[in-house]
């Protein structure tokens, strides 16, 4: 440990980003080396290692629809990674994202199939909202128990996972079962509740109501972006008053909306990149990216986010500062659960072939997303990056198994190793004989059973 | 520790003395149990007579075994201040290794010309040892990461869980899911001579159980004795409460922690072996079903003491027994609903007791020598 006086001069921004990325990158590399060792030992030949990793890369990026399938797998990872990061930031380990994912999927399958004839501009947000609400309610129960009785969220969210699995089985084979289908599954959601595949966007935008919906979303994004940019001191000085500034930002939003409404439909009809109708990539990926920015803004630019981070960093200080920790825990868990619920919603509305919730629907996303959140050190933009890497691994796994005969479970093994090295940076340094930089010691992420 | 307990209970002491409150709680528990039994019997149509009750209690003990063993693993680790949420993974590992070792050693011995009955007995014992060893190795990894590298213990436990899912899944898919020869099967149940003759108690505790259940009963007493009546137990508890003071007195904190986590891992391996050497003769990658975490809840319920944790495990075992009994007598009730019962029960128990349970003071904190 060197003292503060010895600390180096502030480094350039890009160097700091490199510093931040170096440890996760080392962890990834070491994990892949570990995976290679395991494949080598169990298969007895080095060629198999090459075949396996070659197959993985080929399947993840180069195969037909490989890259878009990687993005399809990335989408839920982003939501679940964000869900975990939000919890970690507030000192909560929401290990129950898998259960919230399932309950979100139930909500989406129910609302998605309960109505017919609603326009997409209402039905799609409604289904997404139902999924988010399902996940939020499911996560609030352990949150409330934690706040009121001190029951640790790790055990309770896991119990809620198992309850959610049974609940899903019950709902799919009982109350929500599709009477017309021989397979045990919920009815297909209405076409207007589906998440549009990117291929279908020109067709979808042909409906003026849909174009209006997209325009409204873009207007909102434009307004948010303008508000954010004009809030910087240098920009804010150019406006005479707050009301003038508000007017300007609203203007930007309106212009963006109108331009989108008028230009986007003809433009996409005239020229569209995707002409493969079996491509499954859907607009959920945009939703995920926007959500990542929103979570980043929530955590670092709002009072609620500040309070959450404060409770996470030092609960005693937060209590002393008058932050209501009960409310904070419940709200954090609800938000985290809502994100996980949306991930489940996306599985039903955009990914599943039957556009429904089938029996024995299993994701296995939950544990992976813990690794993603920690790999990204709980930063939303890092989560987008990490989700892409994990999505690629997941998607490449099938071709890897086909090419080399190495079971795709080796992916979970590698992901476990990633988590191991991320959890103990000291171990990486020990393995590679590196020295620690000043102040690099990692802060505690979770706390024990007390309080 | 004593101080904080007094502070915690002080505001509640309006109206009742501590003793009276204990009695009231006990009466509530008994009334609750009787009411629950009456409701249960009404649900299954009044089919449960005294014979059925004894049968159910016998089964309760059987289902309680893996949970109790998981809880004992947690107690060994946490009394030395290492939180272990990787028990689930350790048990999964134990279950897989037990299954594989049982199968392969049996096949090898049979092809070497041993008669199947002897080969079966030998391979089951070998499998038990292998499961315990594998789980112990995983525990050593947890100890290494959380003691030597001072990683966050809850994250380290999660690492163990994910690694165990990866390793067992990988080996299962690679070696255990294709044409599998018939294995020697599970341990046969047996009665303990003499003790099985005791009325009621003998029928519940000492007859028709398999060896891991009996081992669990022995371990309950043994761990209680070790923790509270031996120098090692004293050292363990000192390290868990105040490692700095223990270090000053010359106790090697790291060594105590390593050994306790390792022993905890061995116990978890025994719990894992229960799944494939006592419950069923197959392995599947999801078979531990959260029982490791329920064991942690039982540990908290029992205030980090083996006998209390054993009682907690029995509550869970009773929940599972009721679940299976309902699904036998009332096949018209969707099976998923009673299946939720043990998990809901665990949450209720945890919410009801954790406020009063005080973990070892240094629980979850890495220790750094000065």
Q: Summarize pLDDT for A121-135 with one digit per residue, the tens.
A: 899 999 999 999 999
DSSP character at residue B12:
G
Contact B251, B239 (CB under 8 A): yes
Give percent of chain A with pLDDT exceeding 90: 43
- Give Cβ neighbours of residue A96 (< 8 Å, ≥ 6 apart): A138, A139, A142, A153, A156, A157, A158, A160, A161, A164, A337, A366
Interface test with A, best of B78, B160, B297, B343 (most A CBs within 10 A): B343
| Cα separation, A95 vs A98, whole angstroms | 8
Whether residue B163 and residue A413 make contact (CB cut-off 8 A), yes or no, is yes
Tell me the shortest Cα–Cα distance from B233 to chain A, in angstroms: 22
Inter-chain CB proximity B158 and A367 less than 8 Å: yes
Residue B60 φ/ψ, nearest 5 degrees: -55, -45
A124–chain B nearest CA distance, Å? 30
The set of residues, in sequence order, having a beta carbon less than 8 Å from that of A159 and lying 6+ positions away, is B290, B293, B294, B297, B343, B344, B346, B347
Q: Which residues of A touch B293 (CB under 8 A)?
A: 154-155, 158-159
Residue A227 has pLDDT above 60, yes or no: yes
Q: Looking at chain A, which residue has its C-alpha nearest residue B81?
A: A448
Q: Is the pLDDT confidence value at B257 over 60?
A: yes
Identify any residues that bridge with B209 across adjacent strands, giving them in sequence order.
Answer: B190
Residue, of A316 and A361, whose pLDDT is higher: A316
Q: Does B147 touch chain A (CB under 8 A)?
A: no
User: For residue range A229-249, what is the model confidence (pLDDT) as tens digits?
Assistant: 888 888 878 888 888 888 889
Helix (H, G, I), strand (E, B) or coil at A214: helix
Closest CA to A95 of A381, A377, A374: A374
Record: contact B165-A161, CB cut-off 8 A: no
Backbone phi, psi, residue B190, to 5° = -150, 165
Chain B hits for A149, Cβ within 8 Å: 350-352, 354-355
Q: Which residues, at least 6 apart from B244, have a Cβ–Cβ distance to it below 8 Å?
A: B367
On whether the CB atoms of residues B236 and B227 are closer than 8 A, the answer is yes
Q: Give the closest of A163, A427, A430 to B340, CB-based.
A: A163
Tokens representing residue B291 in the block: 């029982």
Whether the CB of B290 is below 8 Å from some CB of chain A: the reply is: yes
Say which DSSP state B197 is in.
Answer: G
- Whether residue B354 lies within 8 A of chain A, CB to CB, comes out as yes
Percent of chain A with pLDDT over 70: 93
Q: Which of B15-29, B247-261, B285-299, B351-365 has the highest mean pLDDT?
A: B247-261
- CB proximity B102 to A under 8 Å: no
**pLDDT at residue B270 is higher than 90:** yes
Token pair listed for A171: 């709902």
**CB-based contact, B296 to chain A, within 8 Å:** yes
pLDDT, mean of residues A39-49: 89
Cα A130 to Cα A106: distance, rounded to the nearest angstrom: 9
Residue of B nearest to A362 (CA): B286
Sign, CA torsion B26/B27/B30/B36: negative
pLDDT of A78 > 60? The answer is yes
**Interchain proximity B156–A423, CB inside 8 Å:** yes
CB atoms within 10 A of CB B328: 10
Three-class secondary structure of residue A282 per DSSP = strand
Query: Do residues A153 and A146 make contact, with C-beta atoms less than 8 angstroms apart?
Result: yes
Name every residue whose Cβ is closer than 8 Å to that of residue B316 and which is 6 or more positions away in sequence: B63, B64, B67, B294, B297, B298, B342, B345, B346
Measured CA distances, B78 to B84, B143, B190, B257, B271 (Å): 7, 12, 34, 9, 18
pLDDT band at A75 (very low <50, low <70, confident <90, very high): very high
* Cβ distance of A424 and B156 shorter than 8 Å: yes
Place of tokens 């199939």: A113
For residue A436, name the pLDDT band (cuts at 50, 70, 90). low
Res. A7: pLDDT tops 70: no
Rounded to an integer, what distance in angstroms lies between the CA atom of residue A77 and that of residue A63? 21
Tokens of A124: 């799609």
Do B334 and A170 make contact, defined as CB atoms within 8 angstroms? yes
How close A446 comes to chain B (CA, Å)? 7
Check whether A334 has a pLDDT greater than 90.
yes
pLDDT of B28 reads: 82
Give the tens place of pLDDT for each residue, B123-163.
999 999 999 999 999 999 999 999 988 888 888 898 899 89
Q: Are the beta carbons of B153 and A448 separated by less than 8 Å?
A: yes
Let me know: does A289 contact A76? Beta carbons within 8 Å. Answer: no
Q: CA distances (Å), A405 to each of A62, A65, A364, A416, in order?
A: 19, 22, 21, 21
Higher-scoring residue by pLDDT: A276, B106: B106
Tell me the residues of chain B between 323 and 352 that have a Cβ less than 8 Å away from chain A. Answer: 334, 336-337, 339-340, 343-344, 346-347, 350-352
pLDDT of amino acid B7 = 41
């Amino acid at each position: 440990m060197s003292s503060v006086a010895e600390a180096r001069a502030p480094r350039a921004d890009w160097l700091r980003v490199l510093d931040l990325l170096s440890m996760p990158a080392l962890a990834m590399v070491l994990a892949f080396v570990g995976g290679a060792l395991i494949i080598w030992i169990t298969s007895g030949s080095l060629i198999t290692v090459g075949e396996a990793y070659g197959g993985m890369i080929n399947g993840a990026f180069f195969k037909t629809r490989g890259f878009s399938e990687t993005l399809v797998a990335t989408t839920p990872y982003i939501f679940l990674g964000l869900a975990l990061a939000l919890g970690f930031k507030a000192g909560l380990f929401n290990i129950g994202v898998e259960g919230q994912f399932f309950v979100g999927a139930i909500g989406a399958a129910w609302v998605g199939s309960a109505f017919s004839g609603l326009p997409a501009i209402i039905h799609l947000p409604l289904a997404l909202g139902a999924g988010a609400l399902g996940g939020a309610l499911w996560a609030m129960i352990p949150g409330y128990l934690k706040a009121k009785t001190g029951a640790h969220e790790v055990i309770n969210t896991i119990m809620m996972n198992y309850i959610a699995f049974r609940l899903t089985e019950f709902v799919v084979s009982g109350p929500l079962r599709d009477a017309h289908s021989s397979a045990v599954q919920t009815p297909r959601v209405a076409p207007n509740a589906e998440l549009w595949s990117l291929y279908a966007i020109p067709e979808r935008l042909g409906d003026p109501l849909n174009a209006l919906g997209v325009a409204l979303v873009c207007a909102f994004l434009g307004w948010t972006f303008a508000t954010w940019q004009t809030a910087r001191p240098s920009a804010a000085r150019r406006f005479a008053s707050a009301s003038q500034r508000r007017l300007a930002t609203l203007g930007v939003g309106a212009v963006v909306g109108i331009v989108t409404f008028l230009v986007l439909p003809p433009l996409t009809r005239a020229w569209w990149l995707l002409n493969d109708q079996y491509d499954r990539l859907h607009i959920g990926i945009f939703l995920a990216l926007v959500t990542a920015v929103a979570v980043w803004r929530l955590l670092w630019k709002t009072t609620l986010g500040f309070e959450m981070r404060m409770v996470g960093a030092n609960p005693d200080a937060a209590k002393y500062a008058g932050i209501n920790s009960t409310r904070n825990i419940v709200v954090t868990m609800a938000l985290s659960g809502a994100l996980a619920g949306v991930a489940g919603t996306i599985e039903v509305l955009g990914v599943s072939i039957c556009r429904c919730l089938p029996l024995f629907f299993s994701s296995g996303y939950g544990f992976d997303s813990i690794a993603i959140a920690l790999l990204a050190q709980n930063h939303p933009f890092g989560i987008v990056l990490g989700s892409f890497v994990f999505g690629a691994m997941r998607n490449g796994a099938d071709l890897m198994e086909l090419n080399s005969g190495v079971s795709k479970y080796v992916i979970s093994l590698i992901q476990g190793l990633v988590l191991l090295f991320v959890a103990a940076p000291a171990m990486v340094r020990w393995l590679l004989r590196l020295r620690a930089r000043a102040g690099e010691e990692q802060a505690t992420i979770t706390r024990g059973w007390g309080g | 520790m004593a101080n904080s307990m007094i502070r915690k209970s002080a505001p509640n002491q309006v109206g009742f003395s501590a003793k009276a409150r204990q009695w009231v709680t006990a009466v509530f528990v008994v009334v609750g149990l009787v009411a629950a039994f009456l409701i249960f019997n009404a649900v299954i149509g009044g089919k449960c007579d005294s014979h059925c009750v004894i049968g159910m209690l016998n089964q309760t003990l059987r289902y309680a075994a893996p949970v109790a063993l998981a809880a004992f693993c947690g107690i060994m680790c946490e009394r030395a201040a290492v939180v272990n949420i990787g028990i689930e993974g350790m048990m999964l590992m134990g279950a897989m290794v037990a299954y594989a070792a049982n199968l392969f050693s049996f096949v090898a011995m049979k092809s070497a010309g041993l008669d199947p009955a002897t080969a079966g007995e030998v391979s089951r014992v070998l499998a038990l040892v292998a499961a315990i060893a594998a789980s112990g190795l995983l525990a050593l990894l947890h100890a290494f990461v959380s003691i030597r590298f001072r990683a966050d213990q809850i994250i380290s436990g999660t690492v163990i869980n994910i690694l165990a899912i990866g390793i067992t899944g990988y080996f299962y898919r690679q070696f255990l899911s294709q044409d599998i020869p018939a294995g020697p099967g599970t341990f046969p149940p047996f009665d303990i001579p003499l003790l099985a003759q005791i009325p009621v108690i003998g029928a519940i505790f000492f007859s028709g159980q398999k060896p891991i259940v009996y081992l669990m009963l022995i371990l309950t007493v043994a761990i209680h004795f070790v923790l509270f009546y031996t120098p090692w137990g004293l050292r363990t508890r000192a390290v868990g409460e105040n490692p700095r003071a223990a270090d000053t007195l010359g106790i090697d904190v790291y060594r105590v922690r390593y050994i306790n986590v390792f022993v905890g891992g061995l116990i978890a391996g025994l719990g894992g072996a229960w799944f494939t050497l006592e419950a069923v003769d197959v392995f599947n990658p999801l078979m531990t079903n959260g029982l490791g975490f329920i064991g942690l809840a039982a540990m908290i319920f029992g205030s980090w003491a083996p006998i209390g944790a054993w009682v907690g495990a029995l509550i869970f075992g009773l929940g599972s027994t009721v679940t299976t009994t309902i699904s036998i007598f009332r096949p018209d009730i969707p099976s998923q609903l009673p299946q939720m019962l043990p998990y809901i029960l665990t949450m209720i128990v945890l919410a009801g007791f954790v406020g009063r349970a005080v973990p070892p003071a240094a629980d979850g904190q890495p220790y750094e020598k000065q």
